[in-house]
Amino acid sequence: MNPSDPTVLSPEQPDARGPLLWSPWHLATAILAVMVFALPLFVGLDRWDMRNDESIYSYAAQRILETGDWLTPRSIPTDFAFIEKPPLKFWIVAGAMSLGLTPTDEFGMRVFDAVFGAVAFGYIFAMGWRLAGPFCGAIALLILLAFDPLVFEHGLRSNNMEAALFLSYCGGLFHFRRWSESGGTRVRHLHALAAGLFFVLGFMTKFVAAVFMPMVAMAVFLSAPAVTGRLRVGWKDWLLPSVVCLSLVLPWFVYQWIQLQDAFWQEIFGYHVYTRFTASVDPAHVAPWHYYFSQTWRELEYGDSLLLTLAGLALLARRAWSGSSDARLLLIWWLLPYTLISLGTSKLLHYAYPFMPPLALAAGLAGVTGVRAAIVALESRNVWSKAASYVGDRPRLRATFVVLAVVSAAMAAWTVTTGLPATLRFGDIQIFRNSSVARPAILSTVLLLMSGHAAWAIRLAVAAAFLLFLPLQAYEEKVSRALTYDRPIRAVTECMLRLQASGLPRTGVYVSEPSILAHPPYYYLRHVGEWTTGPDGWLDEATRRVDHAVSPVIISEKQWPEIEAALARQQNARAFRIDAEGVLLLPGPYATCADSILAMRGQAFPDPTPTQ
């Protein structure tokens, strides 16, 4: 890897034309890389039941379509006004469905989150290219994929607010940095406007969670002399974006203030911001001050990315100390919000997702720096050229060695990316099988050396050695997990609707006590009929419904012993766990839905006792 190669940007002197757009080749490379890494965000979006907060936001989008009220979404299960967050995400999801662009199912609810994540990956790849070349961007995306919660837990492929907020930070801070170094007035105005619109996306999706973006920008202003100088002469560039942002943000807030008066501010700010920061909305969310740092450390360790990330942070700190504005931006983007959100009492890891791209980019910087250093060290030794003397002037032999080297390298790449052995068969006869990465990589290196291509051999050897430090298995794991079905609540809902369509009365669902009315079951099962709740006389009513197969019943796990006898009298009755506390009882004809639930990874209750 030659530092003078035009495809590798200098980290301190980025190309004035932008990191990706100076040639069709670079643009095509970037698009292909982002598409490959973004693929796991899109596959299997309809194969999982809605989880926790997803049910809240999906219900709000559904009720917009059902009621036609776009300004005041509804909360689950009370159907009261949902005003704890601005409704931009609901508008996007419901708007696409109302236009027929997306289906009204889990895929339609989640596809925009995957799109937001993919676009964010594009910005991260561009930042990595600016920082240390395209391989830096690719490594950063792989590190983010290996961070399992970011992908699957309240992350980039679920109908939550995190994907939109994640994109708003990536896009906003990228355009802010481009504004600070662009020369033309028109280009500066476009970058400033883009940064402002990304702030609107974050603010109108998750309210004050977006305020760290201007805080990071201001901190960069104060710490980087070059950026401070640009602000002195270009502050007018932000006048129009400020007006645009206010015109897009204010109307909804003014409308809700007029409608609800002070109750609006007490809900959206007093309860969901101030209380979360100073006390807790849910006691389970209270965590020690170091939670974000220690939990991120732990997840990076699980993803086999910790050492590379720590080395990258050290390199970023060194560059920042030397005056690199890009390095200072990344360090501030990570450290400032992490520190401030650690001061609060309520802590959830997904609050930190928008501030994780700098960690991935740091890992990419460490990887590229290490590879470059190893290549330079090896190329400086002339002993490599002696290996070619064994072949001499034999063009056909050299060509044969090159072909075999390419085949060996492809075999190693196949094994690395798929985890599967490379096998050659003739009918039922196995001619060749390789499950090793090291053997074909070493063979390819030796063949290239023997054929006189020492430079390529060195690059291959260094790349193969570096792959040992990357979480390559993460890609396959994410795709495999995304394709797994896990939707038992949707399965039982669809089964019950089929039974009702065939003539079974629409009796709804009985819930023994309101406290166990979890959001995901209600999101799905509300479509099968009216929900009736206890707790007064719950045992008599639940027993009656089970004995006479009136309707499905939801009880808490602690109530199970009291109703187990009634369930036993119904020979065809079945019970399933539907969340951490709830148990769904299916008496009479409803028990025919058991196979559908089990096929979609439903869990029978009580848990089957393992055979000794």
Q: Is 529 left (phi over 0), alpha (psi -120 to 50) or beta?
A: left
Q: Percent helix, strand and coil across the chain, each rounded to 5?
A: 65, 5, 25
Residue 11 has pLDDT above 50, yes or no: no
pLDDT at 612 (0 to 100): 39
Closest CA to 508 of 463, 569, 554: 554
Residue 228 has pLDDT above 90, yes or no: no
282-293 per-position pLDDT tens digit? 777 888 999 999
pLDDT at 280 (0 to 100): 66
Closest CA to 331 of 226, 172, 228, 219: 219
Of the pLDDT bands very low, low, confident and very high (cuts 50, 70, 90), residue 72 is very high
What lies within 8 Å, CB to CB, of 593 at 6+ separation is 491, 492, 495, 496, 499, 586
Residue 121 has pLDDT above 80, yes or no: yes
342-356 per-position pLDDT tens digit? 998 889 999 999 999
Reported in sequence order, the residue ranges of 323-453 that DSSP labels E, i.e. its strands, are 422-426, 429-434
- State CA 226 to chain mean position distance: 34
Of the pLDDT bands very low, low, confident and very high (cuts 50, 70, 90), residue 111 is very high
In 419-472, which ranges are continuous DSSP H helix? 438-450, 454-467
Stretch 88-116: mean pLDDT, rounded?
96
Instruction: Say how far apart CA 439 and CA 434 lie, in whole Å.
Output: 9
pLDDT at 562 (0 to 100): 85
Q: Which residues are 124's β-sheet partners?
A: none
Of the pLDDT bands very low, low, confident and very high (cuts 50, 70, 90), residue 199 is very high
pLDDT at 571 (0 to 100): 66
Reported in sequence order, the residue ranges of 405-454 that DSSP labels E, i.e. its strands, are 422-426, 429-434
Residue 362 has pLDDT above 50, yes or no: yes
Of the pLDDT bands very low, low, confident and very high (cuts 50, 70, 90), residue 182 is confident
Instruction: Say how far apart CA 120 and CA 166 lie, in whole Å.
Output: 7
Q: Is 508 left (phi over 0), alpha (psi -120 to 50) or beta?
A: left
For residue 376, give Cα distances in angstroms to 136, 201, 205, 516, 568: 18, 44, 47, 63, 75
| Predicted model pTM | 0.85
User: Percent of the chain, pLDDT > 70?
Assistant: 81
Stretch 147-171: mean pLDDT, rounded?
95
Look at 198-202, 336-340, 389-393 and tell me which has the smallest mean pLDDT: 389-393
Please give the DSSP secondary-structure letter assigned to residue 503: T
At which residue do the structure tokens 């309210």 appear? 207
pLDDT at 445 (0 to 100): 65
526-540 per-position pLDDT tens digit? 999 988 887 778 888
477-505 per-position pLDDT tens digit? 888 899 999 999 999 999 999 999 998 98
Instruction: Say how far apart CA 454 and CA 462 lie, in whole Å.
Output: 12
Of the pLDDT bands very low, low, confident and very high (cuts 50, 70, 90), residue 564 is confident
Instruction: Say how far apart CA 526 and CA 56 lie, in whole Å.
Output: 13
In 80-184, which ranges are continuous DSSP H helix? 88-98, 106-132, 134-146, 148-152, 162-181
Residue 382 has pLDDT above 90, yes or no: no
pLDDT at 9 (0 to 100): 33
At which residue do the structure tokens 């072949």 appear? 391
Instruction: Say how far apart CA 520 and CA 577 lie, in whole Å.
Output: 13
Name the more confident of 423 and 612: 423
Stretch 113-129: mean pLDDT, rounded?
95
Residue 365 has pLDDT above 70, yes or no: yes
Residue 79 has pLDDT above 80, yes or no: yes
CA dihedral 467, 471, 474, 476 (to 10 degrees): 20
pLDDT at 107 (0 to 100): 96
Q: 292, 334 in Cβ contact below 8 A?
A: no
Residue 406 has pLDDT above 90, yes or no: no
Q: Cβ atoms within 10 A of the Cβ of 183, count?
A: 7
Residue 391 has pLDDT above 80, yes or no: no
Stretch 190-216: mean pLDDT, rounded?
95
Q: In what order do the strands lie in the sheet with 509-511?
A: 531-533, 509-511, 553-556, 582-586, 574-577, 603-604
Using only C-alpha atoms, the chain has a radius of gyration, in whole angstroms, of 29
- Tell me the pLDDT of the chain averaged across its residues: 84
Start-to-end CA distance of the chain, whole Å, equals 59
User: Percent of the chain, pLDDT > 90?
Assistant: 48
Closest CA to 118 of 35, 174, 194: 35
pLDDT at 507 (0 to 100): 85
Closest CA to 588 of 518, 505, 527: 505
439-489 per-position pLDDT tens digit? 676 666 666 665 666 666 666 666 666 666 788 788 888 888 999 999 999
pLDDT at 371 (0 to 100): 81
pLDDT at 143 (0 to 100): 94
Q: 332, 223 in Cβ contact below 8 A?
A: yes
pLDDT at 273 (0 to 100): 82
What lies within 8 Å, CB to CB, of 296 at 6+ separation is 349, 352, 356, 359
Name the more confident of 145 and 223: 145
Instruction: Find the angle CA(322)-CA(324)-CA(326) to the nearest 5 degrees.
Output: 150
Look at 46-50, 77-81, 263-267, 390-394 and tell me which has the smallest mean pLDDT: 390-394
At which residue do the structure tokens 């994640």 appear? 166
Q: 50, 107 in Cβ contact below 8 A?
A: no
pLDDT at 6 (0 to 100): 34
pLDDT at 8 (0 to 100): 34
pLDDT at 185 (0 to 100): 84
CA dihedral 68, 69, 75, 77 (to 10 degrees): -40
Of the pLDDT bands very low, low, confident and very high (cuts 50, 70, 90), residue 580 is confident
Q: 198, 167 in Cβ contact below 8 A?
A: yes
Which 3 state secondary structure label does DSSP give 576? Answer: strand
Q: Give the total residue count for the chain.
A: 612
pLDDT at 46 (0 to 100): 93
How does strand 553-556 pair with strand 574-577?
unpaired
